[in-house]
């Protein structure tokens, strides 16, 4: 996979959880939606998405980390939210980013795309991004 940029977003921060945060995250997990982005899918039709007119070099593919359906993506998103793997930036009640780790151990990132509906799109975090190691480390130490 070709990397799009030489630098990654260094403003990303996993929120330090406070009292009540996990309960709030569990409630949000009941309402969250997955919209998806066809540029991150080898077979976007499996997600109910229209294929893009052309591939964009450097886009990470969900297929590479074994997320091959909308249901897989939504469950991964919900699990990250339930574990409190959220950013310290919010749009209304919704965190700007949610991080998760797949069953196979791949770190993934989701971005809020619609604050009115709580809809996100997600993608694998490239191994070359130093934040990938931080996500896995926090995932392994976060309360279940």
Lowest mean pLDDT, pick from 19-23, 113-117, 125-129:
125-129
- Give mean pLDDT, residues 52-59: 59
In a domain, 43, yes or no: yes
The pTM score is: 0.83
Q: Which residues of 20-55 are buried (b: 16+ CB within 10 A; e: fewer)?
A: eebebbeebbeebebbbbbbbbeebebbebeeeeee
Mean pLDDT of the chain: 84
In a domain, 11, yes or no: no
- Give mean pLDDT, residues 2-10: 57
In a domain, 101, yes or no: yes
78-108 pLDDT tens trace? 999 999 999 999 999 999 999 999 999 999 9
pLDDT bracket for residue 41 (50, 70, 90): low
In a domain, 2, yes or no: no
In a domain, 1, yes or no: no
In a domain, 55, yes or no: yes
Higher pLDDT, 5 or 47: 47
Report the distance separating Cα 7 and Cα 44, nearest Å. Answer: 27
Residue 137 belongs to domain spanning: 21-141
Whether pLDDT at 5 is above 60: no
């Amino acid at each position: 996979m070709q990397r799009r940029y030489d630098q990654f977003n260094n403003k990303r921060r996993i929120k330090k959880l406070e009292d009540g945060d996990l309960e709030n995250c569990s409630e949000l997990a009941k309402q969250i939606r997955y919209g998806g982005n066809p540029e991150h899918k080898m077979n976007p039709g499996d997600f109910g998405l229209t294929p893009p007119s052309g591939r964009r070099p450097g886009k990470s593919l969900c297929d590479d980390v074994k997320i091959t359906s909308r249901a897989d993506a939504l469950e991964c998103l919900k699990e990250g939210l339930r574990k409190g793997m959220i950013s310290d930036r919010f749009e209304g009640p919704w965190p700007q980013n949610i991080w998760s780790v797949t069953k196979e151990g791949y770190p993934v990132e989701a971005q809020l795309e619609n604050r009115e509906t709580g809809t996100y799109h997600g993608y694998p975090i490239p191994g070359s991004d130093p934040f990938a190691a931080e996500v896995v480390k926090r995932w392994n130490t976060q309360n279940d």
